[in-house]
A and B are shown apart, each in its own frame.
Chain A
Amino acid sequence: MTAYIVRRLFATLPVMAVVAIFVFFLIRFAPGDPAAIIAGEDATAEAIAQVRMKLGLDRPVLEQFAIWSLQLLQGDLGISIFSNLPVTRLIAQRLEPTLALTLSTLFVAVALAVPIGVVAAWKARKLVDRLVMGFAVLGFAMPVFVLAYILIYFFAVQWRLLPVQGYAPIGEGFWPFVESLILPSVALGVTYMALIARITRASMLEVLAQDYIRTANSKGLATDRVLLLHALKNAAVPIVTVIGIGIALLISGVVITETVFNIPGLGRLTVDAVLKRDYPVVQGLILVFAGAKVLVNLVIDISYAFLDPRIRY
Protein backbone atom coordinates (compact mmCIF):
# COMPACT_ATOMS: atom_id res chain seq x y z
CA MET A 1 0.00 0.00 0.00
CA THR A 2 2.78 2.45 0.92
CA ALA A 3 4.55 1.63 -2.36
CA TYR A 4 1.29 2.33 -4.17
CA ILE A 5 0.86 5.72 -2.50
CA VAL A 6 4.44 6.72 -3.28
CA ARG A 7 4.00 5.61 -6.88
CA ARG A 8 0.77 7.58 -7.17
CA LEU A 9 2.38 10.68 -5.69
CA PHE A 10 5.15 10.50 -8.30
CA ALA A 11 2.54 10.05 -11.01
CA THR A 12 1.01 13.39 -10.04
CA LEU A 13 4.19 15.23 -11.12
CA PRO A 14 3.65 14.88 -14.89
CA VAL A 15 -0.02 15.80 -14.40
CA MET A 16 0.97 18.98 -12.59
CA ALA A 17 3.58 19.74 -15.27
CA VAL A 18 0.98 19.48 -18.02
CA VAL A 19 -1.38 21.71 -16.04
CA ALA A 20 1.41 24.26 -15.55
CA ILE A 21 2.27 24.39 -19.27
CA PHE A 22 -1.36 24.54 -20.27
CA VAL A 23 -2.37 27.33 -17.91
CA PHE A 24 0.72 29.41 -18.71
CA PHE A 25 0.09 29.51 -22.44
CA LEU A 26 -3.69 29.57 -22.30
CA ILE A 27 -3.87 32.77 -20.30
CA ARG A 28 -1.31 34.47 -22.57
CA PHE A 29 -3.31 33.61 -25.65
CA ALA A 30 -6.47 34.98 -24.07
CA PRO A 31 -7.36 38.54 -25.11
CA GLY A 32 -6.63 41.32 -22.62
CA ASP A 33 -3.39 42.97 -21.54
CA PRO A 34 -2.45 43.58 -17.91
CA ALA A 35 -0.09 46.39 -18.90
CA ALA A 36 -2.97 48.33 -20.46
CA ILE A 37 -5.05 47.85 -17.32
CA ILE A 38 -2.27 49.05 -15.01
CA ALA A 39 -1.40 52.02 -17.20
CA GLY A 40 -5.00 53.21 -17.01
CA GLU A 41 -7.69 54.06 -19.52
CA ASP A 42 -6.13 57.18 -21.02
CA ALA A 43 -2.56 55.83 -21.23
CA THR A 44 -0.52 56.33 -24.37
CA ALA A 45 1.03 53.46 -26.29
CA GLU A 46 4.47 54.37 -24.91
CA ALA A 47 3.24 54.31 -21.32
CA ILE A 48 1.74 50.88 -21.87
CA ALA A 49 4.95 49.64 -23.48
CA GLN A 50 6.92 50.91 -20.52
CA VAL A 51 4.73 49.08 -18.04
CA ARG A 52 5.00 45.97 -20.16
CA MET A 53 8.78 46.17 -20.10
CA LYS A 54 8.81 46.67 -16.32
CA LEU A 55 6.69 43.54 -15.88
CA GLY A 56 8.95 41.56 -18.21
CA LEU A 57 6.01 40.89 -20.53
CA ASP A 58 7.93 42.20 -23.55
CA ARG A 59 10.27 39.21 -23.50
CA PRO A 60 9.63 36.18 -25.71
CA VAL A 61 6.90 33.96 -24.28
CA LEU A 62 9.22 30.96 -24.09
CA GLU A 63 11.72 32.95 -22.06
CA GLN A 64 8.95 34.05 -19.71
CA PHE A 65 7.93 30.42 -19.37
CA ALA A 66 11.49 29.31 -18.59
CA ILE A 67 11.81 31.93 -15.85
CA TRP A 68 8.45 30.99 -14.33
CA SER A 69 9.18 27.22 -14.48
CA LEU A 70 12.52 27.62 -12.72
CA GLN A 71 10.84 29.65 -9.96
CA LEU A 72 8.10 27.07 -9.73
CA LEU A 73 10.57 24.24 -9.18
CA GLN A 74 11.84 26.18 -6.17
CA GLY A 75 8.30 26.49 -4.83
CA ASP A 76 8.02 30.13 -5.87
CA LEU A 77 4.82 31.05 -7.67
CA GLY A 78 6.06 34.51 -8.64
CA ILE A 79 4.83 37.99 -7.73
CA SER A 80 1.43 39.49 -8.43
CA ILE A 81 1.53 42.08 -11.19
CA PHE A 82 -0.93 44.31 -9.36
CA SER A 83 -0.32 44.03 -5.64
CA ASN A 84 3.41 43.23 -5.92
CA LEU A 85 2.90 40.59 -3.24
CA PRO A 86 4.20 37.02 -3.59
CA VAL A 87 1.47 34.78 -5.06
CA THR A 88 2.12 32.15 -2.38
CA ARG A 89 1.32 34.72 0.30
CA LEU A 90 -1.84 35.89 -1.50
CA ILE A 91 -3.05 32.32 -1.75
CA ALA A 92 -2.14 31.51 1.84
CA GLN A 93 -4.12 34.53 3.06
CA ARG A 94 -7.22 33.42 1.16
CA LEU A 95 -6.92 29.70 1.85
CA GLU A 96 -8.69 29.57 5.22
CA PRO A 97 -12.13 30.85 4.11
CA THR A 98 -12.19 28.58 1.06
CA LEU A 99 -11.01 25.55 2.98
CA ALA A 100 -13.54 26.26 5.73
CA LEU A 101 -16.36 26.72 3.22
CA THR A 102 -15.45 23.60 1.22
CA LEU A 103 -15.16 21.39 4.29
CA SER A 104 -18.32 22.70 5.95
CA THR A 105 -20.27 22.30 2.70
CA LEU A 106 -18.96 18.79 2.35
CA PHE A 107 -19.88 18.07 5.94
CA VAL A 108 -23.43 19.42 5.49
CA ALA A 109 -23.89 17.46 2.26
CA VAL A 110 -22.47 14.10 3.39
CA ALA A 111 -23.83 14.17 6.93
CA LEU A 112 -27.37 14.66 5.63
CA ALA A 113 -27.29 12.96 2.24
CA VAL A 114 -25.97 9.55 3.26
CA PRO A 115 -28.52 8.97 6.07
CA ILE A 116 -31.47 10.15 3.97
CA GLY A 117 -30.26 8.03 1.02
CA VAL A 118 -30.09 5.00 3.32
CA VAL A 119 -33.55 5.66 4.74
CA ALA A 120 -34.97 6.21 1.24
CA ALA A 121 -33.58 2.86 0.07
CA TRP A 122 -34.81 1.10 3.21
CA LYS A 123 -38.30 2.55 2.77
CA ALA A 124 -38.18 2.32 -1.02
CA ARG A 125 -41.37 3.40 -2.79
CA LYS A 126 -42.91 4.54 0.51
CA LEU A 127 -43.78 8.15 1.36
CA VAL A 128 -40.38 8.98 2.92
CA ASP A 129 -38.65 7.75 -0.20
CA ARG A 130 -40.86 9.83 -2.51
CA LEU A 131 -40.28 12.95 -0.40
CA VAL A 132 -36.53 12.42 -0.42
CA MET A 133 -36.40 11.84 -4.15
CA GLY A 134 -38.66 14.83 -4.83
CA PHE A 135 -36.33 16.98 -2.77
CA ALA A 136 -33.36 15.54 -4.65
CA VAL A 137 -34.76 16.56 -8.01
CA LEU A 138 -35.56 20.04 -6.72
CA GLY A 139 -32.19 20.45 -5.02
CA PHE A 140 -30.35 19.31 -8.10
CA ALA A 141 -32.25 21.66 -10.39
CA MET A 142 -31.85 24.76 -8.19
CA PRO A 143 -28.98 27.06 -9.22
CA VAL A 144 -26.70 27.86 -6.29
CA PHE A 145 -27.08 31.64 -6.57
CA VAL A 146 -30.89 31.50 -6.64
CA LEU A 147 -30.98 29.34 -3.53
CA ALA A 148 -28.36 31.56 -1.91
CA TYR A 149 -30.50 34.69 -2.37
CA ILE A 150 -33.62 32.91 -1.14
CA LEU A 151 -31.77 31.76 1.99
CA ILE A 152 -30.31 35.23 2.58
CA TYR A 153 -33.75 36.81 2.17
CA PHE A 154 -35.41 34.62 4.79
CA PHE A 155 -32.73 33.71 7.30
CA ALA A 156 -30.71 36.92 7.25
CA VAL A 157 -33.02 39.76 6.10
CA GLN A 158 -36.47 38.67 7.30
CA TRP A 159 -35.76 36.64 10.41
CA ARG A 160 -32.31 38.05 11.21
CA LEU A 161 -31.01 34.72 12.42
CA LEU A 162 -27.73 34.71 10.54
CA PRO A 163 -25.38 37.26 9.01
CA VAL A 164 -26.26 38.38 5.47
CA GLN A 165 -22.78 37.92 4.16
CA GLY A 166 -19.11 38.11 5.03
CA TYR A 167 -16.72 35.80 6.74
CA ALA A 168 -15.48 35.62 10.30
CA PRO A 169 -12.09 33.89 10.60
CA ILE A 170 -11.94 31.10 13.13
CA GLY A 171 -9.35 33.14 15.03
CA GLU A 172 -12.10 35.63 15.93
CA GLY A 173 -14.22 33.11 17.79
CA PHE A 174 -15.80 29.80 16.92
CA TRP A 175 -19.49 30.75 16.94
CA PRO A 176 -19.25 33.77 14.58
CA PHE A 177 -17.11 31.58 12.33
CA VAL A 178 -19.80 28.86 12.24
CA GLU A 179 -22.59 31.42 11.80
CA SER A 180 -20.90 32.95 8.80
CA LEU A 181 -20.57 29.53 7.16
CA ILE A 182 -24.11 28.16 7.64
CA LEU A 183 -25.93 29.88 4.76
CA PRO A 184 -23.15 29.55 2.19
CA SER A 185 -22.63 25.88 3.11
CA VAL A 186 -26.31 25.08 2.78
CA ALA A 187 -26.63 27.01 -0.49
CA LEU A 188 -23.60 25.31 -1.95
CA GLY A 189 -24.31 21.93 -0.36
CA VAL A 190 -27.88 21.31 -1.51
CA THR A 191 -26.83 20.26 -5.02
CA TYR A 192 -24.28 17.79 -3.67
CA MET A 193 -26.70 16.59 -1.04
CA ALA A 194 -29.21 15.79 -3.78
CA LEU A 195 -26.55 14.05 -5.85
CA ILE A 196 -25.09 12.04 -2.97
CA ALA A 197 -28.54 11.09 -1.61
CA ARG A 198 -29.60 9.75 -5.01
CA ILE A 199 -26.43 7.71 -5.45
CA THR A 200 -26.66 6.40 -1.89
CA ARG A 201 -30.25 5.31 -2.48
CA ALA A 202 -29.49 3.65 -5.81
CA SER A 203 -26.40 1.91 -4.50
CA MET A 204 -28.17 0.75 -1.33
CA LEU A 205 -31.17 -0.56 -3.29
CA GLU A 206 -28.87 -2.69 -5.38
CA VAL A 207 -27.04 -4.01 -2.33
CA LEU A 208 -30.24 -4.67 -0.34
CA ALA A 209 -31.32 -7.12 -3.06
CA GLN A 210 -28.15 -9.19 -2.64
CA ASP A 211 -28.05 -12.70 -1.20
CA TYR A 212 -25.79 -11.70 1.69
CA ILE A 213 -28.41 -9.24 2.94
CA ARG A 214 -30.92 -12.10 2.97
CA THR A 215 -28.32 -14.05 4.97
CA ALA A 216 -27.91 -11.15 7.41
CA ASN A 217 -31.70 -11.01 7.85
CA SER A 218 -31.88 -14.78 8.31
CA LYS A 219 -29.52 -14.31 11.25
CA GLY A 220 -32.04 -11.99 12.89
CA LEU A 221 -29.56 -9.10 13.07
CA ALA A 222 -30.87 -5.71 14.16
CA THR A 223 -32.03 -3.49 11.29
CA ASP A 224 -29.39 -0.82 11.92
CA ARG A 225 -26.60 -3.39 11.76
CA VAL A 226 -27.95 -4.82 8.48
CA LEU A 227 -28.36 -1.35 6.95
CA LEU A 228 -25.30 0.46 8.26
CA LEU A 229 -22.73 -2.31 8.30
CA HIS A 230 -23.77 -5.13 5.96
CA ALA A 231 -25.36 -2.94 3.29
CA LEU A 232 -23.75 0.49 3.52
CA LYS A 233 -20.19 -0.84 3.54
CA ASN A 234 -20.92 -2.67 0.31
CA ALA A 235 -22.67 0.35 -1.16
CA ALA A 236 -19.84 2.69 -0.18
CA VAL A 237 -17.60 2.58 -3.26
CA PRO A 238 -19.97 4.43 -5.63
CA ILE A 239 -20.97 6.82 -2.82
CA VAL A 240 -17.36 7.71 -2.03
CA THR A 241 -16.65 8.15 -5.75
CA VAL A 242 -19.47 10.67 -6.04
CA ILE A 243 -18.32 12.46 -2.89
CA GLY A 244 -14.89 12.74 -4.52
CA ILE A 245 -16.35 14.16 -7.71
CA GLY A 246 -18.39 16.47 -5.47
CA ILE A 247 -15.24 17.81 -3.80
CA ALA A 248 -13.71 18.52 -7.20
CA LEU A 249 -16.84 20.36 -8.34
CA LEU A 250 -17.04 22.19 -5.02
CA ILE A 251 -13.60 23.67 -5.50
CA SER A 252 -14.85 25.33 -8.66
CA GLY A 253 -18.29 26.04 -7.15
CA VAL A 254 -16.92 28.22 -4.36
CA VAL A 255 -16.19 30.95 -6.92
CA ILE A 256 -19.89 31.79 -7.21
CA THR A 257 -20.75 31.23 -3.56
CA GLU A 258 -17.89 33.39 -2.33
CA THR A 259 -19.03 36.17 -4.62
CA VAL A 260 -22.68 35.99 -3.48
CA PHE A 261 -21.80 35.81 0.21
CA ASN A 262 -18.86 38.19 -0.04
CA ILE A 263 -16.36 35.75 1.40
CA PRO A 264 -12.72 36.69 0.80
CA GLY A 265 -11.51 33.29 -0.35
CA LEU A 266 -9.66 31.75 -3.28
CA GLY A 267 -12.77 32.00 -5.44
CA ARG A 268 -12.88 35.77 -5.13
CA LEU A 269 -9.13 35.97 -5.62
CA THR A 270 -9.51 33.96 -8.84
CA VAL A 271 -12.28 36.16 -10.22
CA ASP A 272 -10.30 39.33 -9.50
CA ALA A 273 -7.09 37.92 -10.94
CA VAL A 274 -8.75 36.70 -14.13
CA LEU A 275 -10.51 40.02 -14.71
CA LYS A 276 -7.25 41.93 -14.30
CA ARG A 277 -5.19 39.37 -16.22
CA ASP A 278 -2.89 38.99 -13.23
CA TYR A 279 -0.96 36.15 -14.89
CA PRO A 280 1.16 34.88 -11.97
CA VAL A 281 -1.84 34.80 -9.61
CA VAL A 282 -4.09 32.95 -12.09
CA GLN A 283 -1.32 30.46 -12.81
CA GLY A 284 -0.66 29.87 -9.14
CA LEU A 285 -4.35 29.46 -8.31
CA ILE A 286 -4.99 26.97 -11.07
CA LEU A 287 -2.00 24.92 -10.00
CA VAL A 288 -3.32 24.88 -6.44
CA PHE A 289 -6.81 23.84 -7.61
CA ALA A 290 -5.36 21.13 -9.84
CA GLY A 291 -3.15 19.90 -7.02
CA ALA A 292 -6.17 19.72 -4.70
CA LYS A 293 -8.15 17.69 -7.23
CA VAL A 294 -5.28 15.27 -7.81
CA LEU A 295 -4.93 14.82 -4.06
CA VAL A 296 -8.67 14.18 -3.60
CA ASN A 297 -8.53 11.56 -6.34
CA LEU A 298 -5.66 9.83 -4.62
CA VAL A 299 -7.45 9.79 -1.26
CA ILE A 300 -10.59 8.36 -2.90
CA ASP A 301 -8.61 5.63 -4.66
CA ILE A 302 -6.90 4.67 -1.42
CA SER A 303 -10.21 4.62 0.46
CA TYR A 304 -11.55 1.92 -1.90
CA ALA A 305 -9.04 -0.54 -0.52
CA PHE A 306 -10.29 0.08 3.00
CA LEU A 307 -13.95 -0.27 2.01
CA ASP A 308 -13.64 -3.40 -0.11
CA PRO A 309 -11.07 -6.05 0.81
CA ARG A 310 -11.25 -7.46 -2.74
CA ILE A 311 -9.57 -4.29 -4.03
CA ARG A 312 -5.79 -4.49 -3.67
CA TYR A 313 -3.14 -2.28 -5.15
Chain B
Amino acid sequence: MMKNLSIEWLKLKSYRTFWWLMGLFILCLIGSNYITYQLKIATSSQSHGTLDILMGSPFEFPDVWQTVSYVSSYVLFLPGFLMVILITNEYNFRTHRQNIIDGMRRSAFALTKILVAVLLSVFAAVLVFAITVLTGLIAGSSFSLTGSVYLLYFFLQALTYTLGGLLLGTLLKKSGLSIALYLIYIGFIKNLLALLLDKYAGGIGSYTPVKSSDELIPMPFFKAVTHSLITPPDTTWLLILTLIYLAGFYWLTLYRYKTQDL
Protein backbone atom coordinates (compact mmCIF):
# COMPACT_ATOMS: atom_id res chain seq x y z
CA MET B 1 0.00 0.00 0.00
CA MET B 2 2.93 2.35 0.70
CA LYS B 3 4.04 1.83 -2.90
CA ASN B 4 0.60 2.74 -4.23
CA LEU B 5 0.49 5.75 -1.95
CA SER B 6 3.84 6.93 -3.33
CA ILE B 7 2.41 6.53 -6.86
CA GLU B 8 -0.54 8.68 -5.77
CA TRP B 9 1.94 11.25 -4.47
CA LEU B 10 3.62 11.36 -7.90
CA LYS B 11 0.21 12.29 -9.34
CA LEU B 12 -0.57 14.89 -6.67
CA LYS B 13 2.67 16.72 -6.06
CA SER B 14 2.72 18.39 -9.49
CA TYR B 15 -1.04 18.97 -9.61
CA ARG B 16 -1.59 22.66 -9.05
CA THR B 17 -5.33 22.39 -8.30
CA PHE B 18 -4.49 20.07 -5.40
CA TRP B 19 -2.22 22.66 -3.79
CA TRP B 20 -4.67 25.49 -4.44
CA LEU B 21 -7.53 23.62 -2.83
CA MET B 22 -5.37 22.54 0.11
CA GLY B 23 -4.22 26.15 0.59
CA LEU B 24 -7.79 27.40 0.39
CA PHE B 25 -8.93 24.77 2.86
CA ILE B 26 -6.29 25.75 5.43
CA LEU B 27 -7.03 29.44 4.88
CA CYS B 28 -10.79 28.92 5.25
CA LEU B 29 -10.34 26.81 8.41
CA ILE B 30 -8.26 29.46 10.10
CA GLY B 31 -10.29 32.32 8.64
CA SER B 32 -13.74 31.03 9.61
CA ASN B 33 -12.65 30.36 13.21
CA TYR B 34 -10.88 33.69 13.44
CA ILE B 35 -13.95 35.59 12.20
CA THR B 36 -16.28 33.75 14.59
CA TYR B 37 -13.91 34.44 17.46
CA GLN B 38 -13.75 38.15 16.61
CA LEU B 39 -17.55 38.28 16.29
CA LYS B 40 -17.91 36.77 19.74
CA ILE B 41 -15.53 39.33 21.20
CA ALA B 42 -17.30 42.17 19.43
CA THR B 43 -20.80 41.11 20.53
CA SER B 44 -19.58 40.53 24.08
CA SER B 45 -18.07 43.96 24.38
CA GLN B 46 -21.03 45.68 22.71
CA SER B 47 -23.52 44.01 25.00
CA HIS B 48 -21.23 44.68 27.98
CA GLY B 49 -21.19 40.98 28.74
CA THR B 50 -24.95 40.49 28.98
CA LEU B 51 -25.08 38.26 25.88
CA ASP B 52 -22.42 36.04 27.46
CA ILE B 53 -25.01 34.60 29.79
CA LEU B 54 -26.92 33.28 26.78
CA MET B 55 -23.92 32.47 24.60
CA GLY B 56 -21.82 30.79 27.23
CA SER B 57 -18.06 30.66 26.73
CA PRO B 58 -17.78 28.93 23.37
CA PHE B 59 -14.09 29.67 22.87
CA GLU B 60 -12.91 28.48 26.25
CA PHE B 61 -12.14 24.92 27.27
CA PRO B 62 -14.10 22.67 27.30
CA ASP B 63 -16.66 24.27 24.90
CA VAL B 64 -13.96 25.30 22.42
CA TRP B 65 -13.73 21.68 21.17
CA GLN B 66 -17.33 21.81 20.04
CA THR B 67 -17.13 25.38 18.73
CA VAL B 68 -14.05 25.01 16.53
CA SER B 69 -15.25 21.61 15.24
CA TYR B 70 -18.66 23.08 14.45
CA VAL B 71 -17.33 26.17 12.67
CA SER B 72 -14.69 24.16 10.79
CA SER B 73 -17.25 21.64 9.56
CA TYR B 74 -18.65 24.30 7.21
CA VAL B 75 -15.38 24.20 5.27
CA LEU B 76 -15.39 20.40 4.90
CA PHE B 77 -17.00 20.65 1.49
CA LEU B 78 -13.52 21.60 0.20
CA PRO B 79 -11.67 18.30 0.82
CA GLY B 80 -14.79 16.46 -0.39
CA PHE B 81 -14.76 18.61 -3.51
CA LEU B 82 -11.07 17.77 -3.95
CA MET B 83 -11.83 14.04 -3.78
CA VAL B 84 -14.52 14.42 -6.47
CA ILE B 85 -11.95 16.15 -8.68
CA LEU B 86 -9.20 13.60 -8.01
CA ILE B 87 -11.32 10.60 -8.97
CA THR B 88 -13.13 12.17 -11.94
CA ASN B 89 -9.75 13.37 -13.26
CA GLU B 90 -8.70 9.73 -13.53
CA TYR B 91 -11.83 9.03 -15.58
CA ASN B 92 -11.32 12.14 -17.74
CA PHE B 93 -7.70 11.33 -18.49
CA ARG B 94 -8.61 7.62 -18.80
CA THR B 95 -5.69 6.95 -16.51
CA HIS B 96 -8.07 4.93 -14.33
CA ARG B 97 -7.78 2.21 -16.97
CA GLN B 98 -4.10 2.83 -17.80
CA ASN B 99 -3.14 2.22 -14.15
CA ILE B 100 -4.91 -1.15 -14.31
CA ILE B 101 -3.43 -1.97 -17.73
CA ASP B 102 0.03 -1.25 -16.33
CA GLY B 103 -0.54 -3.87 -13.64
CA MET B 104 -2.23 -2.18 -10.67
CA ARG B 105 -5.00 -4.23 -9.09
CA ARG B 106 -8.48 -2.72 -9.33
CA SER B 107 -8.91 -3.08 -5.57
CA ALA B 108 -5.53 -1.40 -4.97
CA PHE B 109 -6.55 1.54 -7.15
CA ALA B 110 -9.79 2.04 -5.21
CA LEU B 111 -8.17 1.46 -1.80
CA THR B 112 -5.44 4.02 -2.55
CA LYS B 113 -8.07 6.65 -3.33
CA ILE B 114 -9.92 5.69 -0.13
CA LEU B 115 -6.66 6.07 1.78
CA VAL B 116 -6.17 9.55 0.31
CA ALA B 117 -9.65 10.45 1.60
CA VAL B 118 -8.73 9.11 5.05
CA LEU B 119 -5.43 11.02 5.06
CA LEU B 120 -7.19 14.25 4.06
CA SER B 121 -9.59 13.72 6.96
CA VAL B 122 -6.72 13.06 9.37
CA PHE B 123 -5.03 16.21 8.11
CA ALA B 124 -8.24 18.21 8.65
CA ALA B 125 -8.62 16.81 12.17
CA VAL B 126 -5.01 17.62 13.05
CA LEU B 127 -5.51 21.20 11.86
CA VAL B 128 -8.71 21.53 13.86
CA PHE B 129 -6.91 20.14 16.91
CA ALA B 130 -4.21 22.80 16.55
CA ILE B 131 -6.74 25.60 16.03
CA THR B 132 -8.80 24.40 19.01
CA VAL B 133 -5.83 24.32 21.39
CA LEU B 134 -4.55 27.67 20.21
CA THR B 135 -7.97 29.35 20.41
CA GLY B 136 -8.74 27.89 23.82
CA LEU B 137 -5.44 29.13 25.20
CA ILE B 138 -5.77 32.56 23.57
CA ALA B 139 -9.26 32.85 25.11
CA GLY B 140 -7.55 32.54 28.46
CA SER B 141 -8.72 29.08 29.55
CA SER B 142 -6.50 26.18 30.54
CA PHE B 143 -6.20 23.06 28.39
CA SER B 144 -8.66 20.28 29.04
CA LEU B 145 -9.56 17.12 27.12
CA THR B 146 -13.16 17.30 28.29
CA GLY B 147 -15.34 17.67 25.23
CA SER B 148 -12.60 16.49 22.88
CA VAL B 149 -14.99 13.81 21.62
CA TYR B 150 -16.16 16.55 19.23
CA LEU B 151 -12.81 16.28 17.45
CA LEU B 152 -13.59 12.60 16.82
CA TYR B 153 -17.03 13.60 15.52
CA PHE B 154 -15.34 16.17 13.27
CA PHE B 155 -13.05 13.44 11.94
CA LEU B 156 -16.05 11.22 11.16
CA GLN B 157 -17.73 14.15 9.46
CA ALA B 158 -14.59 14.81 7.40
CA LEU B 159 -14.54 11.13 6.39
CA THR B 160 -18.19 11.38 5.36
CA TYR B 161 -17.49 14.35 3.09
CA THR B 162 -14.32 12.93 1.50
CA LEU B 163 -15.54 9.35 1.09
CA GLY B 164 -18.93 10.63 -0.06
CA GLY B 165 -17.23 12.76 -2.72
CA LEU B 166 -15.13 9.79 -3.79
CA LEU B 167 -18.17 7.55 -4.10
CA LEU B 168 -20.13 10.13 -6.06
CA GLY B 169 -17.24 10.63 -8.51
CA THR B 170 -16.78 6.87 -8.83
CA LEU B 171 -20.44 6.36 -9.63
CA LEU B 172 -20.95 9.29 -12.00
CA LYS B 173 -17.48 9.44 -13.64
CA LYS B 174 -18.22 12.81 -15.25
CA SER B 175 -16.53 15.70 -13.43
CA GLY B 176 -19.04 18.48 -14.15
CA LEU B 177 -22.05 16.43 -13.15
CA SER B 178 -20.35 15.01 -10.05
CA ILE B 179 -19.18 18.41 -8.80
CA ALA B 180 -22.59 19.98 -9.39
CA LEU B 181 -24.47 17.16 -7.70
CA TYR B 182 -22.02 17.08 -4.80
CA LEU B 183 -22.39 20.80 -4.08
CA ILE B 184 -26.15 20.75 -4.58
CA TYR B 185 -26.53 17.80 -2.21
CA ILE B 186 -24.35 19.35 0.49
CA GLY B 187 -25.88 22.79 0.20
CA PHE B 188 -29.50 22.08 -0.65
CA ILE B 189 -30.84 18.54 -1.14
CA LYS B 190 -29.45 17.34 2.20
CA ASN B 191 -31.37 19.99 4.13
CA LEU B 192 -34.51 19.73 2.03
CA LEU B 193 -34.55 15.97 2.52
CA ALA B 194 -34.11 16.39 6.27
CA LEU B 195 -36.89 18.97 6.38
CA LEU B 196 -39.33 16.78 4.43
CA LEU B 197 -38.51 13.66 6.44
CA ASP B 198 -38.85 15.57 9.69
CA LYS B 199 -42.24 16.83 8.62
CA TYR B 200 -43.71 13.75 6.97
CA ALA B 201 -41.76 10.77 8.28
CA GLY B 202 -41.74 11.22 12.01
CA GLY B 203 -38.64 13.32 12.53
CA ILE B 204 -36.00 11.04 10.99
CA GLY B 205 -34.57 13.86 8.90
CA SER B 206 -31.42 14.05 11.00
CA TYR B 207 -30.48 10.47 10.18
CA THR B 208 -30.00 10.81 6.41
CA PRO B 209 -26.57 10.45 4.74
CA VAL B 210 -24.16 13.31 5.51
CA LYS B 211 -26.83 15.02 7.65
CA SER B 212 -26.35 12.48 10.44
CA SER B 213 -22.63 13.28 10.65
CA ASP B 214 -23.40 17.04 10.54
CA GLU B 215 -25.77 16.68 13.47
CA LEU B 216 -23.12 14.96 15.59
CA ILE B 217 -21.78 18.43 16.36
CA PRO B 218 -24.76 20.64 17.36
CA MET B 219 -24.57 24.41 17.24
CA PRO B 220 -22.46 25.50 20.21
CA PHE B 221 -23.85 29.01 20.57
CA PHE B 222 -26.86 29.90 22.68
CA LYS B 223 -26.89 26.32 24.01
CA ALA B 224 -29.17 27.28 26.86
CA VAL B 225 -31.79 28.64 24.49
CA THR B 226 -31.66 25.97 21.76
CA HIS B 227 -31.81 23.12 24.28
CA SER B 228 -35.06 24.36 25.67
CA LEU B 229 -36.60 24.85 22.21
CA ILE B 230 -35.72 21.71 20.24
CA THR B 231 -35.06 18.14 21.21
CA PRO B 232 -31.68 17.23 19.76
CA PRO B 233 -31.44 13.94 17.81
CA ASP B 234 -30.08 10.94 19.65
CA THR B 235 -26.27 11.03 19.50
CA THR B 236 -25.88 7.25 19.73
CA TRP B 237 -28.11 6.73 16.73
CA LEU B 238 -26.38 9.53 14.83
CA LEU B 239 -23.06 7.86 15.54
CA ILE B 240 -24.27 4.40 14.51
CA LEU B 241 -25.79 5.71 11.28
CA THR B 242 -22.72 7.79 10.46
CA LEU B 243 -20.59 4.65 10.80
CA ILE B 244 -23.03 2.61 8.70
CA TYR B 245 -23.01 5.25 5.97
CA LEU B 246 -19.20 5.36 6.05
CA ALA B 247 -19.00 1.58 5.74
CA GLY B 248 -21.48 1.81 2.87
CA PHE B 249 -19.42 4.49 1.08
CA TYR B 250 -16.28 2.38 1.50
CA TRP B 251 -17.85 -0.84 0.32
CA LEU B 252 -19.72 0.69 -2.64
CA THR B 253 -16.62 2.52 -3.92
CA LEU B 254 -14.58 -0.68 -3.74
CA TYR B 255 -17.32 -2.87 -5.23
CA ARG B 256 -18.09 -0.44 -8.03
CA TYR B 257 -14.47 -0.14 -9.05
CA LYS B 258 -13.88 -3.87 -8.93
CA THR B 259 -16.88 -4.78 -11.05
CA GLN B 260 -17.37 -1.99 -13.58
CA ASP B 261 -16.04 -1.89 -17.13
CA LEU B 262 -13.35 0.77 -17.17
Genuine A/B complex: no
Q: A residues within 8 Å of B by Cβ?
A: none
Q: B residues within 8 Å of A by Cβ?
A: none
